[in-house]
């Protein structure tokens, strides 16, 4: 895709590029280059650096501290951010609960929560999925029963990403069971993770990492002022949040970056071996992914334009989510196929990221397999791709 930038946009691009060149902390840059997981303090430090520049609330309205950037400026920022291999922004505060609060919350909630979310002073996590209630989220069983001036919350949330670091969790909980439709009677509630009765149980993944958790609520008392919007409207608010999440999941700029690095890797030979770029069958598959990725950029820009005009992402976010994650997984497969048997061993002290500059065959591709298996989840989280196809059929095709 070719985008012609105005002189003002070119100046903006220079400013963004200079920031990532000159102000991106070297220690974080090195950890990113080595594929190392950032510590929470380093992640927060990076996000607070963006906040100091006024660049934290990329999609937020200006009146709440947002950037006021145009769709093209957002496109430029995402591209330069990916090219610098900068850390992903943890989405739960800035990209998810923040927009719900500034859209549906009352003034007291906006004053109380938004400044700390914008400044990354508070770590949030998401309480949606439950054991037995993932893609069929309307079947959730976590209860929030009103008792005077507070709700009493009981239930379990699962697959709670980075919940072990969280200060707060935003939850969908059932506040009314006497309803005609399962989607009714669900409310959007903010819970302090330090509340009595909240416990976190780690879920250790196959690669040995502690990324996700189960969160248990045992008679947790939550003040009624932590209810966002109207009681029973949580399903509506949750859908808006998921639309923002799905648009972000697509990660188009990151996929472009990974494809460029892959082309560089497969173009070089090691010890006289024929480089992968000479394998016509492999390069045909690589080119097919590049075409799909190029097409996806247009949809991303349309979605950015909708957000810039004050709208929440619509069904386009489902298209972005489906194609974005399918492309990510296809790229993972390309890295794995390029690495071949070099991807088999895994020694944590020796691995390098799959986007390393080194050509295939240097023995540093062992993370490719871990990335491949871990990101099979990409087509499930944020609403499974099968559910997204139903949303598109209903809202776009009218079926």
Q: What is the pLDDT of residue 298?
A: 80
Q: Side-chain half-sphere of 68: how many Cα atoms within 13 Å?
A: 5
Q: What is the pLDDT of residue 3?
A: 60
Asked whether residue 307 falls in the same domain as residue 364, the answer is yes
Asked whether residue 268 falls in the same domain as residue 296, the answer is yes
Q: What is the pLDDT of residue 28?
A: 96
Q: Among residues 125, 303, 92, which one has the least CA distance to residue 213? A: 125
Residue 321 within any structural domain of the chain = yes
Asked whether residue 227 falls in the same domain as residue 282, the answer is no
Q: What is the pLDDT of residue 7?
A: 93
Euclidean distance between CA atoms 280 and 266, whole angstroms: 12
Name the token pair of 260: 């460029």
- DSSP secondary structure code for residue 200 in this structure: E
Residue 353 within any structural domain of the chain = yes
Asked whether residue 272 falls in the same domain as residue 382, the answer is yes
Residue 344 within any structural domain of the chain = yes
Euclidean distance between CA atoms 53 and 115, whole angstroms: 15
> Domain boundary at 203, 232, 261, which?
232
Burial of 249 (C-beta count, 10 Å sphere; 0-12/13-18/19+)? buried
What's 324's domain CATH number?
Answer: 1.20.140.10
What's 224's domain CATH number?
Answer: 2.40.110.10
Total domains in the fold of the chain: 3
For the segment 12-52, what is each residue's pLDDT rounded down to a tens digit?
999 999 999 999 999 999 888 877 789 999 999 999 999 99
pTM of the model: 0.85
Q: What are phi and psi of 144, to 5 degrees?
A: -130, 100
> Domain boundary at 65, 89, 113, which?
89
Asked whether residue 330 falls in the same domain as residue 385, the answer is yes
Residue 44 within any structural domain of the chain = yes
Regions in the chain scoring below 70 on pLDDT: 1-3, 243-247, 269-272, 304-314, 345-366, 399
Interacting residues of 194 by C-beta distance below 8 A, sequence separation 6+:
167
Asked whether residue 128 falls in the same domain as residue 81, the answer is no
Residue 211 within any structural domain of the chain = yes
Residue 114 within any structural domain of the chain = no
Euclidean distance between CA atoms 281 and 62, whole angstroms: 49
Asked whether residue 46 falls in the same domain as residue 141, the answer is no
Asked whether residue 287 falls in the same domain as residue 319, the answer is yes
Asked whether residue 168 falls in the same domain as residue 275, the answer is no
Q: Among residues 211, 247, 209, 219, which one has the least CA distance to residue 99? A: 247
Q: Are 378 and 249 in contact (CB under 8 A)?
A: yes
Strand ranges inside the chain, DSSP E: 124-127, 143-147, 150-157, 168-174, 186-192, 198-204, 210-223, 227-228
DSSP 122-188: S-EEEE--BTTBSSSGGG---EEEEETTEEEEEEEE-S-TTGGG-SEEEEEEES----SSTTTTEEE
Q: What is the pLDDT of residue 2?
A: 52
Which structural domain range is residue 369 located in?
250-395
DSSP 79-114: HHHHHTTPPPPPHIIIIIIHHHHHHHS-HHHHHHHH
Asked whether residue 126 falls in the same domain as residue 208, the answer is yes
Query: What letters, b where the CB count within 10 A reaches 16 and e where it falls short, cover 186-223?
Result: bbbbbbebeeeebebeeeeeeeeeebbbbbbbeebebe
The torsion of the CA quartet 336, 339, 342, 344, rounded to 10 degrees, works out to: 10
Q: Are 186 and 232 in contact (CB under 8 A)?
A: yes
Q: What are phi and psi of 168, to 5 degrees?
A: -140, 155
Q: Are 37 and 100 in contact (CB under 8 A)?
A: no
Residue 96 within any structural domain of the chain = no
């Amino acid at each position: 895709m070719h985008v012609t930038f105005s002189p003002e946009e070119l100046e903006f691009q220079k400013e963004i590029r200079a920031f990532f060149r000159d102000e991106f902390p070297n220690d974080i840059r090195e950890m990113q280059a080595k594929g190392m997981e950032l510590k929470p303090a380093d992640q927060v430090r990076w996000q607070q650096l963006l906040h100091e520049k006024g660049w934290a609330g990329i999609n937020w309205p200006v009146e709440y501290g947002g950037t006021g950037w145009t769709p093209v400026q957002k496109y430029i920022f995402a591209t330069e951010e990916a090219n610098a291999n900068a850390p992903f922004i943890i989405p739960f505060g800035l990209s998810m609960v923040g927009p719900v609060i500034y859209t549906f919350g009352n003034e007291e909630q906006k004053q109380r929560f938004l400044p700390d979310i914008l400044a990354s002073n508070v770590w949030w996590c998401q309480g949606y999925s439950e054991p037995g209630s993932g893609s069929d989220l309307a079947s959730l069983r976590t209860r929030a029963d009103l008792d005077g001036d507070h709700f009493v919350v009981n239930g379990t949330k699962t697959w709670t990403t980075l919940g072990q670091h969280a200060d707060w969790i935003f939850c969908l909980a059932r506040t009314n069971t006497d309803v005609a439709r399962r989607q009714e009677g669900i409310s959007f509630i903010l819970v302090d993770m330090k509340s009595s009765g909240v416990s976190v149980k780690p879920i250790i993944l196959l690669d040995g990492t502690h990324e996700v958790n189960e969160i248990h609520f045992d008679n947790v008392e939550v003040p009624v002022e932590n209810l966002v919007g109207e009681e029973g409207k949580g399903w509506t608010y949750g859908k808006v949040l998921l639309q923002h999440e799905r648009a972000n999941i697509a990660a188009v700029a990151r996929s472009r970056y990974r494809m460029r690095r892959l082309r560089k890797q497969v173009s070089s030979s090691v010890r006289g071996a024929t480089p992968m770029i000479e394998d016509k069958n492999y390069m045909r598959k690589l080119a097919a992914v590049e075409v799909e990725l190029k097409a996806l950029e247009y949809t991303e820009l349309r979605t950015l334009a909708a957000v810039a005009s004050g709208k929440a992402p619509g069904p386009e976010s489902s298209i972005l989510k489906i194609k974005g994650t399918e492309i990510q997984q296809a790229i993972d497969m390309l890295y794995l196929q390029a690495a071949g048997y070099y991807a088999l061993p895994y020694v944590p002290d020796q691995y390098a990221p799959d986007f390393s500059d080194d050509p295939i065959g240097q023995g540093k591709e062992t993370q490719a397999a871990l990335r491949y298996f871990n990101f099979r989840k990409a087509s499930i989280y944020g609403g499974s791709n099968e559910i997204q196809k139903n949303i598109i059929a209903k809202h776009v095709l009218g079926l």
